[in-house]
Structure 1
């Protein structure tokens, strides 16, 4: 009888060990979100030179970029001096196709992000993100070339601008490598 109990206990222990899920052995690797322009500003790559509120003209301003890795853009963000609602657009810069448009409510000088349906990003393809605004910050590096510059898995190739309210959402085509007006940004999640 004692031998039967030992055998039954050993069988039960064996069943417990073999029934453990193999998923317990897998480590889930979560990528850290990347905010390219926020990172450049916070690390001192450029300096704030001026603040413009309710300028008489509106501009479509933003930056052109490429990713070193495939991934997804899961949110768009802005930082402008006034509280208001601003149109933010993500474009395929090669085809000038609008990929997503989101109206974002700003929080006077704070970075405000809004989630979007994830947009797949392909490594090496040029994209552009912009905000239509007459409220903005101007950054530069004392006239030095600031772009292209790497920020995490993103290469920012230049700052672009188009004057006017841009109701037809035409992508900016004038670029600068020595200044940046905005701030507009993306939340990029690289693939593991």
Structure 2
């Protein structure tokens, strides 16, 4: 809004003005928001060292995306023996699933190796995502931890045949109460 109005000193208004501004921006962006995202990722790849992204479209609609930056790649090189990935975060507007690839560093802090967005939680989508991960990092992790999703299990067997697949203990123990 500062750019449009010509400077921060010209920006004022009440809450409804900001809501109207957001509505106008969303109308302007319309159906090109996926194109804006891909353009932004392409610019980042051109300007940032060692940035990687992959995407897949179907019928002119973005249905899969993976990205990792230099820090993520360095983290994977140092701490990527065990990778956890989970697809439990669903975005609101596009109903795409956010899939972070995470690990633990030497200080027992969570670190991110990369992330993806998927429109479906099926085996083919996970295969595409894991192949993008493998292409980006050049090697498979020694062990992968997931929830008990059968589509993930099948995709891991196909893309990472020599990787050990284990279920997350939290998911196992949270389901114990249901089986008593």
When normalised by structure 2's length, the TM-score is: 0.25
Mark the structure with the bigger radius of gyration: 1
Highest relative contact order (Cα 8 Å, sep 6+), 1 or 2? 1
Which one has a larger percent helix, Structure 1 or Structure 2? Answer: 2
Which one has a larger percent strand, Structure 1 or Structure 2? Answer: 1
